[in-house]
Copies of this chain bind each other. A is one copy, B any other.
């Protein structure tokens, strides 16, 4: 099934989630379609979170925001149902992870607002297509992610550190990657840092805070991008009474093509 879904459209992956056929991670599925992070909050918290995203567009590039109670991501995936169309979710209560269900229909409320947020898979596809290596894909592990000492701009009750992902590249590849990723401001855009990890508060590059360490080879420098885990870190800090997110790596497949996120 995995291989069928790799060349399927985004809607086919959503259908596979909805029918319970797919409960695993989504990297490599529906290649060329935009995958997205998901954050769901009660309306009472939604304005603050929308402010937080507006002020921190690199880690939190908004692709779609729903009306309160509407489970359909009308703009990026008409006909979708955000309650069933992801392979796995996380339920948060007071900033604590309490459950990881495959369906959130039982948790749905009329006041929930969903935020669909761009994801690095989009620019990784573009990097690979341009011959720039992506080490964690080569090594078949999750991308290494680090909490930095760079503070996000607070938005209402939300604040927290910028979380970054890291890919080792040669300087020449890093320049190429910067050019390519600059084309995708709604998929985290250009890197935020390269080289000395301690300059952004990363103590030990082989001990990521999320994901798994990857090999940095001779002649390569670590290159850091703003990461979609940043809003989850802000959620843990703000401790809203109730929130839902995707389970990391288990993303929402949209109808957008990667190329739709280029430029404006």
Residues of A bordering B, CB below 8 Å: 43, 46-47, 50-51, 54-55, 57-58, 62, 65, 67, 75, 153, 156, 182, 185, 189-190, 263-264
Contacts and interface: CB of A to CB of B under 8 A. Distances in A.
Contact of A65 (B51, B67, B182, B263): B51
Contact of A67 (B50, B51, B58, B264): B51
A128 to B, nearest CB: 22
19 contacts: A43-B47, A46-B47, A47-B47, A47-B50, A50-B50, A50-B51, A50-B54, A54-B62, A54-B65, A55-B65, A57-B264, A58-B264, A67-B156, A75-B153, A182-B263, A182-B264, A185-B185, A185-B263, A190-B264
Nearest to A47: B47
Nearest to A181: B264
A53 B156 CA distance: 18
Contacts of A65: 51, 54-55
- What are the 7 closest A-B residue pairs judged by CB atoms, nearest first? A47-B47, A185-B264, A189-B264, A50-B50, A54-B65, A54-B62, A51-B65
A264 B156 CA distance: 24
A195 to B, nearest CB: 20
A158 to B, nearest CB: 11
Contacts of A75: 55, 153
Nearest to A184: B264
Contacts of A50: 47, 50-51, 54
User: Residue among A47, A55, A185, A190 with the most chain B CB within 10 A?
Assistant: A47
Contacts of A190: 264
A190 B264 CA distance: 8
